[in-house]
Amino acid sequence: MTKTKLKEPYELSDDEAKDFCLKHWESTICPGATMREEYDLWVYQETSADGYTIWIAKWEDGPCYPSESVYYYNDSLDEPIWDCLRHGSTLRIDDSDYEELSHIFDWQEKYATIYEELINNEEEE
């Protein structure tokens, strides 16, 4: 890929940056409401027995371990979400949860990182 084929960081719309990143990583995001879709990581909200909102980041169809899968703060979901996507996996997340976590999904920043990596690799060749 050459520099002339890539737009400069922050020149893309958020949707264009998202599409580029997902294609680059060969990953997908599927709606959480669809139970038929296969996924590698499922991120969703639940309410604890005492009424607190908690977040679950559950890998595949395995068990949900509180010490590994339950998050009190949604900011902590950054790491499992990006690990999933950067490794070419499928993230399952409901549209409303995706919107609530929009601060995590900074596609422009991720595009800028990929852009720099591609440009640096091209210069080394």
| C-alpha to C-alpha distance for 15 and 102, rounded to whole angstroms | 13
Give one DSSP letter per residue of 38-92, joined into a string: --SEEEEEEE-TTS-EEEEEEETTS---HHHHEESSGGGGHHHHHHHHHTT-EEE
| Predicted pLDDT at 1 | 43
Please list the pLDDT of the chain residue by residue as tens digits (125 residues): 444 588 899 999 999 999 999 999 999 999 866 666 688 999 999 999 999 999 999 988 777 878 888 999 999 999 999 999 999 999 999 999 999 999 999 999 999 999 999 988 877 76
Q: What angle do CA 119, 120, 121 make, to 5 degrees?
A: 90
91: left (phi over 0), alpha (psi -120 to 50) or beta: beta
